[in-house]
Structure 1
Amino acid sequence: MAGIGFRLDRIAREDGLGGIANAAFHGAVVSSGPWLMTALAVFLLQGWTRSTMVAADHAIIQTSLVYAFGVSTVITAPLAMIATRMASDRFYLGERDAIPAILLAALVWATLASLIAGGLLFGLAGGMRPDLFLLATAILTLFSQIWIASPFLHATWRHRPIFLAYLCGIAMVALCLALVRPTAPAAVLAAIAAGLIVTLALLIAAIRDDFPNSPEWRPGWIGRTPGVLALGAAGLTNALAIWIDKWLLWWAPGSVQAVGALRVNPVNDQASFLGLLTMIPGLTLILVTTETRFDRAFAALMSHCMGTANRRRIEKARQKVGMTIRLDLRLLMVEQAILAGFCWVLAPEIIRLLDMNARGIFGFRLTAVGVVFHLVAIQMSIILSYYDLAGRIVAVWGSFLLASAAGTLLFRDSGFAGFGFGYLAGAVTAASLAVALVAEATGKLTYLLFVGNNPAVAGNSGLWARFWP
């Protein structure tokens, strides 16, 4: 599923400085498109709504976006994880015609879950007017569908249509706001929904260009994908780990009851979201460089195992996998640590330029530092997924979830000085555990490939198959 990563890697290696910049730019869009689109929308709307709307209407828009974006990631994470694994299995078997059906099934399930969540949040808890309720639910649903489509974009080889999709979506929102100049929250939400519709339609079109077959579902696909529940649990714990500290702080000092029973913490929400945006360069590096290099090293090891190589050559290939992991981990941490250092030093000026509350400096700084370790956990989780160790991925993100919740509750009553500490604690815990688990698995990788994780030996049945070999 990393086809576009290899394409961007080749552009970066063969086209000089311009190629590096081109690969980095498009890699950021592919790996973090929903984050970038939401960030631009939030910061553009922040100035717009404050100058043209009353505080209550501004709160409706802000709350709708915060809940739609956050809840959509949690809803779609397990579905996207399972769908991605099913699609990659079909790729390996040469069944490219199965991709449209897998994508369609995931979109349908995501839509159903989003409609239910929208009804509970914006209808029951928020008590919104019918028009606002429908628009907020539509935005949540569209975000969910974009999250589902995003992993399938990695399987394509054309990066420009993806950039065009997000650009057209943002342009649609800006055009609607410029032409209509709305002063009511319903009109602003409608403009956002229109932009998301344009983006989703173009993303689906880009995927369909590479996979033009008509969807044809085969019931046996689920049974042919081992460890479905483990994969879903890994995706769910991953998403919950990111948001648990923000949700707990919605009931901490400084939080407000924004719309009905829906609560937000404006200072922490903005600061933590801005801090999470520093993840984009690291995600781009993983997509373009580190994952592609590891893929090549791991593929070489697999070819030795399936061929006629002797034990010495297999061991040499395994050692090369370990060396690749170490080099890529060092590259990622150095790159992201430099960015975190800049953010720490320049935090007051960044907060001032974006017209954010100065009390968010603490949350922004700690989140930017936590992102360094969060990215380590992500990269190690990708490696564990190559090793087919879904249970260990659950352990990594479960530790993130528990440590983040504990740290947030510990500093919950400290006010803005404690913002971001829970996220940092969770990220450090997850990164430490992830590195240890990858090191242990890589050390006995030959055994795992031939015995411990070999379907012919350990079996390949059950929804929790090979949870922890």
Structure 2
Amino acid sequence: MLAVSYSFIFSQVILGVQQLVVTRYLADCFYEKRYEDIFPAYVGMTKTTGVLASVAFLVFLSFSDLPVLLNMLAFVLFMTINLIWVHFLFLSAAKFYQAVAYSFLIGGVIAVSAVLVTDRWLMPFLTAPYAKSIALTASMTFGLIVTLFGLFTSMLLTFPRRGTRDAFAYFSYFDRYPALFWTGFLYNIGVWVGTWIIWFAPGSSAHLDTFRYHPVYDTAIFLSYLTIIPTMTIFVVSVETRFYERYRMFYGYTNEGGTYQQILRAKGAMILVLRQELQRLFRNQGLVTLLVLLFSSGVFVYLGLSPESHDVFQMTTIGAFSNAMVLVLTLVLLYFEDHRGAAFTSLLFLSLNALLTIALLPLAEDGFGLSFAIGSTIAFAFALIRLMWYINEIDYHTFSRMEPRPLTETFTRVGDWLNQRSAS
């Protein structure tokens, strides 16, 4: 469980380094019909992710007391999850959601089945030290490899132009849009910074002198994040349907010479639909969160979880709600290219969660979930105010926006050097 948890947590942080920058690069490629540049970017991001993941795992190895075989298996698991996120990003950009859904479904079913078969039939025969951990981790890894294989096959089918020239050309976007890097990187750290701090708080443990964890808080935060699945589903559906149509109409008029009245009407329709969709999202997720809080005590008793975990869960569920809203509003800000507002939101989200967690550590379990709830809610309020202010003046921001001039060309030069090395 700890190997899987660590792999997912730290792979998400590694994804945040490139996620939004590459997404913007792909959006420009699709808009400008530069389809031949997409697969090289996939190759470049895959290589970069592999290097970052390997460095992170070397850090892990420096203090790992696990046996060699389990370390090797943990590396395969960690690398597989990192590569899954890369494929997920490219296929989502191409809107090939069906391939993503089937790959995760089939891989998930195989992973669960393999774990159940291992638990039911192999456990009695596994008596060597760490054998059971290795068997269960291998079962989970096998299912994730199937998911990765499905996503990779879908990549080959989706992008028939499979050149590898200038695979690191997208590095220039780190210079052009540094706020995108900071937004993704800081947000993903902000999601987990409180957890990392609490791993060293009273009540935490160090399993095999390798994995830090806090049984009470980790259980609560995991269950809390399950409650925001409706938000992710509703947001994707609403953005891809009603809101995007009005968004495209408004920017179609502004970019293609619409009349002043057409632009005003399109702006009003876009803002109205955005408000309706956000209100619907807040209302539906709020209702889910409220119902979970009302009936959670019985569920915790049924699952045999401790009352301490339930107390923390009540606060972390509120924090998870606000966290989901922060993510949604940040993405909407990026839709309108308010990169500075998105970066400030991520910075505030990270800073508040870190500082409040440290400040409330003396309260022990009474303060764990409270810090997450307060920090996420304040960041949610800031993002909402920023979005309301920005869209009310969206026509001004649209017509006065200037193409950003890179403050530095460091990443561009690194990308050019890597492309030259690859070509030679």
- Using the size of structure 2 for normalisation, the TM-score is 0.88
Structure 1 residue 166 corresponds to structure 2 residue 104: yes
Structure 1 residue 204 corresponds to structure 2 residue 143: no
Q: AA paired with 2:302?
A: L
* Residues 23 and 93 in structure 2, CA contact (< 8 A), matched pair in contact too: no
Q: Which of residues 363, 370, 379 in structure 2 aligns to 1:421?
A: 370
Q: Which of residues 178, 181, 190 in structure 1 aligns to 2:122?
A: 181
CA distance in structure 2 between the aligned counterparts of 1:377 and 1:175, rounded to whole angstroms? 35
Give runs of aligned pairs for residues 118-129 of structure 1, distance below 5 A.
118-121=57-60, 123-129=61-67
Q: Which of residues 331, 335, 338 in structure 2 aligns to 1:382?
A: 331
Moved more, 266-275 or 310-319: 310-319
Q: CA deviation at 1:240?
A: 0.8
Q: Which of residues 333, 336, 352 in structure 1 aligns to 2:282?
A: 333
How far does the alpha carbon of each residue in 1:33-60 deviate from its partner, in whole angstroms, 9 at most, with x for none?
A: xxxxxxxxxxxxxxxxxxxxxxxxxxxx
CA distance in structure 1 between the aligned counterparts of 2:246 and 2:407, rounded to whole angstroms? 30
Q: 1:436 matched to which residue of 2?
A: 385
Q: Would the alpha carbon gap of residues 173 and 379 (structure 1) be closer, same or farther in structure 2, given more than 3 Å must change?
A: closer
Q: 2:418 matched to which residue of 1?
A: none
* Residues 21 and 173 in structure 2, CA contact (< 8 A), matched pair in contact too: no
* Residues 400 and 427 in structure 1, CA contact (< 8 A), matched pair in contact too: yes
CA distance in structure 1 between the aligned counterparts of 2:311 and 2:23, rounded to whole angstroms? 36
Structure 1 residue 352 corresponds to structure 2 residue 306: no
Structure 1 residue 236 corresponds to structure 2 residue 185: yes
How far does the alpha carbon of each residue in 1:96-145 deviate from its partner, in whole angstroms, 9 at most, with x for none?
A: 23222222211211111111111211x11222211111111221111111
Q: CA deviation at 1:186?
A: 1.5
Q: CA deviation at 1:248?
A: 0.8
Q: CA deviation at 1:174?
A: 3.5
CA distance in structure 1 between the aligned counterparts of 2:304 and 2:163, rounded to whole angstroms? 48
* Residues 293 and 314 in structure 2, CA contact (< 8 A), matched pair in contact too: yes
CA distance in structure 1 between the aligned counterparts of 2:317 and 2:113, rounded to whole angstroms? 33
Q: Which of residues 8, 13, 31 in structure 2 aligns to 1:74?
A: 13
Q: CA deviation at 1:156?
A: 4.1
How far does the alpha carbon of each residue in 1:213-247 deviate from its partner, in whole angstroms, 9 at most, with x for none?
A: 21323254443676343211111111011101111
How far does the alpha carbon of each residue in 1:325-366 deviate from its partner, in whole angstroms, 9 at most, with x for none?
A: 211111011000101011111111222333333311122222
Secondary structure in structure 2 of the residue aligned to 1:283: helix
* Residues 22 and 170 in structure 2, CA contact (< 8 A), matched pair in contact too: no
Secondary structure in structure 1 of the residue aligned to 2:165: coil
* Residues 39 and 163 in structure 2, CA contact (< 8 A), matched pair in contact too: yes
Q: 2:412 matched to which residue of 1?
A: none
Identity of aligned residues (%): 21
Q: 2:80 matched to which residue of 1?
A: 142
Secondary structure in structure 2 of the residue aligned to 1:257: strand
Q: 2:265 matched to which residue of 1?
A: 316
CA RMSD of aligned residues (A): 2.1
Paired residues in the alignment total 398
Q: 2:416 matched to which residue of 1?
A: none
Moved more, 381-390 or 391-400: 381-390
Give runs of aligned pairs for residues 194-343 of structure 1, distance below 5 A.
194-218=142-166, 220-223=169-172, 227-343=176-292
* Residues 80 and 147 in structure 1, CA contact (< 8 A), matched pair in contact too: no
Secondary structure in structure 2 of the residue aligned to 1:454: coil
Q: Would the alpha carbon gap of residues 285 and 158 (structure 1) be closer, same or farther in structure 2, given more than 3 Å must change?
A: same
Structure 1: gaps (5+ residues): 1-61, 465-469
Q: 1:117 matched to which residue of 2?
A: 56
Q: AA paired with 2:339?
A: A
Q: Which of residues 67, 88, 91 in structure 1 aligns to 2:27?
A: 88
Q: CA deviation at 1:157?
A: 4.9
Moved more, 333-342 or 360-369: 360-369
Structure 2: gaps (5+ residues): 410-424
* Residues 183 and 342 in structure 2, CA contact (< 8 A), matched pair in contact too: yes
Q: 1:64 matched to which residue of 2?
A: 3
Q: AA paired with 2:50?
A: T
CA distance in structure 2 between the aligned counterparts of 1:419 and 1:365, rounded to whole angstroms? 11
Secondary structure in structure 2 of the residue aligned to 1:251: coil
Q: CA deviation at 1:286?
A: 0.6
- Using the size of structure 1 for normalisation, the TM-score is 0.80
Q: AA paired with 1:181?
A: L
Structure 1 residue 153 corresponds to structure 2 residue 91: yes
Q: AA paired with 2:402?
A: N
Secondary structure in structure 1 of the residue aligned to 2:305: coil
